[in-house]
Structure 1
Amino acid sequence: MLPKVKVLRPEGILDNAKSTQFRQQINELIDEGVNVILIDFKKVTFMDSSGLGALVLILKMIRASGGRLFLMSLNDQLKMLFDLTNMGNIFEIINDKSELEDRLRNP
């Protein structure tokens, strides 16, 4: 069975207000049968702890549905946040879409 992939491209600041909306969007995608979600952070300028907390909840929701979550295009602030919180080991962080295709072929 081929994975049903959806790419999300949030923009600006990922804080508490946007995190709630983001989680609802992910829930809807899971309900639609999407089982691989790629979040492209290219246009995110800043993420605070509530944004990171939302990502953890999103990861749990996706895993509970049998899916996978990938993160891409982390800027320096996001990389530092992931490093400081040791969350870089929990999330599947990729460099580009070709790496996503490789990981989906070879889980």
Structure 2
Amino acid sequence: MIEQVKIIKLTGNLNATTSQDFRQNITETLKVGTKIVLIDFQDVTFMDSSGLGALVLAFKTLRAADSKLVLCSINEQVRILFELTNMDKVFEIFPSQDAFNQVLVSKA
């Protein structure tokens, strides 16, 4: 059975130390065949370039598998990193899970 939406809730830091676990999580998600992966950043306190690199790799990997990666609930520090690298133009970012769910329901 294909899962429509998989929510991955990250916590703490997304950096060189934790990005390997994140990539593994994406690989597992691909095996299920999820159509949309929502990364919830609500409890992420810090993200560095390694974390951003892992996100870009996940984005490309999921896109190649006809899946979509979207983000929600990013904090100010993460938002600044996205804006400085123009990744805010690449990723679809929602203010919250509720905002994402409203858009998803409106498209159904």
Overall identity of the aligned pairs, in % = 45
For structure 1, the residue ranges without an aligned partner over 5 or more in a row are: none
The normalised TM-score by structure 1 is 0.89
RMSD of the TM alignment (CA)? 1.8
1:44 aligns with 2:59: no
- Asked whether the equivalents of residues 38 and 71 of structure 2 are also in contact (C-alpha less than 8 Å), the reply is yes
Residue equivalent to 1:17: 17
**Residue type of the alignment partner of 2:9:** R
Please give the per-residue CA displacement for 1:57-106, whole angstroms capped at 9, x wherever unaligned. 00001100101111001101000000100000000101233432454454
Cα displacement (A) at 1:35: 1.6
Alignment CA distance shift 1:72-1:10 (3 Å): same
Q: Paired residue for 1:96?
A: 96
Aligned to 1:60: 60
Deviation, structure 1 residue 18? 0.7
The runs of 5 or more residues in structure 2 that have no matched partner are none
Q: Which of structure 1's runs of 4+ aligned residues deviate more than 3 A?
A: 101-106
CA deviation map 1:32-71 (0-9, x unaligned): 1112110110100000000000000000011001011110
Other-structure match for 1:7? 7
Q: Which amino acid in 2 is paired with 1:86?
A: N
The one-letter code of the counterpart of 2:25 is: Q
Contact 2:62 2:68 in 1 (8 A): yes
Report what 1:74 is aligned to.
74
Count of residue pairs brought into register by the alignment: 106
Q: What SS does the corresponding residue of 1:26 show, helix, strand or coil?
A: helix
